[in-house]
A = this chain, B = another copy of it.
Amino acid sequence: MIGACGAVGSTVALGIASLHKRLIATTGLVTELPPFQDVELVDPGSIVVGGHEVRTNTFCDTLAELHTRSDLFRPSVIHECASHLDRMQANIKAGTLCGSDATNEKLADRSGLTVERCPAEAVERLTADIVDFRRNHQLDRVVVVNVASSEPCPQEQAAHAQFAKLQEALAKPASTVLPPSSIYALAAIEARCPYVNFTPSFGVNPPAIQERAQQLGVPFMGNDGKTGETLLKSVIAPMFAMRNLSVLSWIGHNILGNRDGAALQDPQIRASKLRAKNKAISQVVNDSTTTHVSIEYAPSLDDRKVAWDFIHFEGFLGTKMSLQFTWQGCDSALAAPLIIDLVRLAAVYDQSGRGGAMRHLSCFFKDPIGVEDPNLFAQWEMLVNHVQSDVRAPAVEPA
């Protein structure tokens, strides 16, 4: 995991440790639902956690914070998993600040962080870390998942279009051609590891990086996990569409108190987030629809997000009606099981030897690469069809 010891990463670590010790139920794990029961997925408790981090906080620090501030997790569970978490912690290496923006750089308080001379050097170092991790733990495969704070959306650049050009640009000293999320993505690909971007950051978006992934037969997917308000939007919008009701205004208001909320105070970072959030309702939005999404930072909420959406719509004979909802979710607890799902599903796909965008995973993302339809049900069907035809067959063969 990139940004491994943040709220989401630490919850993933605790979840895996708890599943290993059979302390918790599999609630929240999509891959434990009936359609997946015949797919040979890795046992979630047996996943080995490693990653990169630019902050000092450990898994245990973050979990203690989440418990105290947001009333998450039973203390007994944290306690019983402590030594397992310590072992995972030993696998966490220093991340890179190469290409980082000012907001995220300010959060990076880990000692011994270096900015590499050029992005190519950073890619090389991170690739080596991943390869070492795989070798040291004798793993069949490693899936790299980005769970770091959101980055601002970078400017388009010519070098993003072609891998040959990108390579040149990466070798230039102090180049900012790629933000960190894309440097990590490239490192994962160079190490032949499936890459999943659970954030709205740039990640594997540059065509040049996707070209490289295709070359090396590495699968990838993103962007931005669909965990809360947007998940709900992706079922409510199709409902309006299926009833031919006309959405006049859809106004969403998010209040966040965690580190992600703090980073989203930066207008450029917020812009990249909002773009992803709006995709969910594209189906019911036309030129005359008013849409707004706002995000406010309220530290008192900590990891307990509140989102209020107001939907004004018109029905038969010009009748105006409305729907409003308040979602009170906990991002870490919603995201963590989906990350374990994605690791399981990316691993089984990788096993089949194919690279490229894992479009069948679209239901996990706000802005799925290569998939236009935001309807959760259509996306779900893509996934179920995939695992029941495509994956299941090769899964039976010796890998």
Contact with B along A287-306 (1 / 0, CB 8 A): 00010101011111100001
User: In the complex, A349 Cα to B53 Cα: how many Å?
Assistant: 61
Contact with B along A177-211 (1 / 0, CB 8 A): 00000000000000000000000000000000000
**In the complex, residue of chain B having the shortest beta-carbon distance to the beta carbon of A327:** B323
B323 touches A323 (CB 8 A): no
Whether, in the assembled complex, A312 has its beta carbon less than 8 Å from a beta carbon of chain B, the answer is yes
Kindly specify which of A70-78, A90-98, A266-274, A390-398 makes contact with the partner chain: A70-78
CB proximity to B under 8 Å, residues A296-320: 296-301, 306, 308, 310, 312, 314-320
User: In the complex, A378 Cα to B147 Cα: how many Å?
Assistant: 33
B246 touches A27 (CB 8 A): yes
A71 touches B71 (CB 8 A): yes
User: In the complex, A324 Cα to B375 Cα: how many Å?
Assistant: 21
A323 touches B246 (CB 8 A): no
B242 touches A363 (CB 8 A): yes
Interface of A is mostly: mixed
**In the complex, residue of chain B having the shortest beta-carbon distance to the beta carbon of A72:** B319
Whether, in the assembled complex, A231 has its beta carbon less than 8 Å from a beta carbon of chain B, the answer is yes
CB proximity to B under 8 Å, residues A1-51: 11, 14-15, 18, 24, 26-30, 32-33
B290 touches A316 (CB 8 A): no
Whether, in the assembled complex, A337 has its beta carbon less than 8 Å from a beta carbon of chain B, the answer is yes
B249 touches A380 (CB 8 A): no
B323 touches A232 (CB 8 A): yes
Contact with B along A155-186 (1 / 0, CB 8 A): 00000000000000000000000000000000
A253 touches B333 (CB 8 A): no
Whether, in the assembled complex, A236 has its beta carbon less than 8 Å from a beta carbon of chain B, the answer is yes
**In the complex, residue of chain B having the shortest beta-carbon distance to the beta carbon of A384:** B242
**In the complex, residue of chain B having the shortest beta-carbon distance to the beta carbon of A308:** B308
Whether, in the assembled complex, A343 has its beta carbon less than 8 Å from a beta carbon of chain B, the answer is no
Chain B residues with CB under 8 Å of A239's CB are: 231-232, 235, 376
Contact with B along A49-77 (1 / 0, CB 8 A): 00000000000000000001001111101
**In the complex, residue of chain B having the shortest beta-carbon distance to the beta carbon of A248:** B300
Tally of A interface residues using CB under 8 Å: 77
B328 touches A325 (CB 8 A): no
A308 touches B325 (CB 8 A): no
Whether, in the assembled complex, A244 has its beta carbon less than 8 Å from a beta carbon of chain B, the answer is yes
Chain B residues with CB under 8 Å of A106's CB are: none
Whether, in the assembled complex, A329 has its beta carbon less than 8 Å from a beta carbon of chain B, the answer is yes
**In the complex, residue of chain B having the shortest beta-carbon distance to the beta carbon of A234:** B239
B249 touches A316 (CB 8 A): no
**Cβ-neighbour of A29 out of B298, B299, B316, B376 (below 8 A):** B316
List 18 contacting pairs A-B, 8 Å CB cutoff, sorted by A: A26-B244, A27-B244, A27-B315, A29-B244, A30-B242, A32-B244, A74-B318, A77-B317, A232-B323, A235-B238, A244-B337, A249-B298, A251-B255, A317-B336, A319-B330, A323-B325, A325-B325, A377-B378
Extra contacts, 16 of them, besides A28-B317, A290-B300, A300-B312 (Cβ < 8 A), are A11-B316, A27-B244, A29-B244, A29-B316, A30-B242, A72-B319, A73-B318, A74-B318, A248-B300, A294-B294, A306-B310, A315-B329, A316-B336, A321-B330, A323-B328, A324-B325
Nearest 7 A/B pairs, CB to CB: A248-B300, A28-B316, A377-B377, A319-B333, A71-B71, A325-B325, A249-B298
